[in-house]
Structures are given as structure tokens and as C-alpha cells.
Structure 1
Amino acid sequence: MNNQPNNPLHGIKLETIVTDLVDHFGWPVLADNININCFKSDPSIKSSLKFLRKTQWARDEVENLYISTFLQTEDLQSTSPWGKV
């Protein structure tokens, strides 16, 4: 069975996740809060995807940010995903 009820990212492509985060926050904010060079130095979707597919800890941070930004209830979205106001 291919159903994943406990995986909020099931069916969402990594490219969609990165694109939505860039559209929402912009590269500078992502780079300030997730310390990876592909967000800091000449950032692009393509370079980010390549790095995130190989580096699980970075992918986990990006996916967690996506979940906290776009997939939680409206009450929880009012708080910053980085614990800052």
C-alpha cells in the first residue's frame, strides 16, 4: 500500500517545497535561517535540489520549515518557524 497518512509531505515534490519557500521567504531569509551554501552563494532551485537530495540533515530542516509554514493549522502559522517574531 502506498498511502502514508502520517507523512504530511506525501505527494509534495522537493522542487515544490523549495520553490514555495523561496517565494514565501526569499533566498536571503532562507540563507539566514538555514545555514547551507546553496541558499547563500548564487542560489538557484537547481543547485538547492541537487544538494538537498544528497544531504539528509539539510533536507530535514527545509521540510520542517515547509511543514511549519504551510501545513500546520492557522493558529500555529502565526508564530515564526524560527522562534523569532
Structure 2
Amino acid sequence: MRNTKIFLLDEITSNIDGLTERNIVQTVFRLSQNHTVIMATHRATTIMQIPRIIVICDVKNVAEGTHEKLLNECMTYKELFEKNRQQLVC
């Protein structure tokens, strides 16, 4: 990764196994301390590792917070997360 102020990462964990996903996300967080990271993802397992989540729906910022906060306070996030999690189980 280059030394830049902002990292823009789009679906970096798609089509990989869980262990590799976890290693990639942890490495990104470790290497990007003191930088801004914008990560677009639909994977529930990736989302759960992110410390600050911004939910965007129809080009609008719907809510932001931690995974736990959004599960409790944002119906849009909860519905998207549950739908994604069910796909992992099936």
C-alpha cells in the first residue's frame, strides 16, 4: 500500500475465504493507522470488523456508528446485515 492520506478500498474481500478476509482487514487497519480508510463492502463478516460504519442508501447517509449501535438503532442496516448473514449460512 502506498503512503497516502486516504485509502479507498472497494470490495477488497470479495471472493476469498474467511481467514484470508480477516488477515486482509487486520493488515489494512494496521497499515492505515493515522489515515482515512473508506471501505465499500457488502460482506457481513467484513462489516463487523470495521470500527465506524456509515450506512448509505439511495445516495443518502442514513446512519453511522458501530456495528452494535447500528444493529440496535438503524432498521436499514439491520435488514441489510441480516440478509447478508443469511446468505452466508445458506
Which TM-score band (shorter chain)?
A: under 0.3
Tell me which protein shows more helix as a share of its residues. 1
TM-score with structure 2 length normalisation? Answer: 0.26
Question: TM-score, with normalisation over the residues of structure 1?
Answer: 0.27
Higher relative contact order (CA 8 A, sep 6+): 1
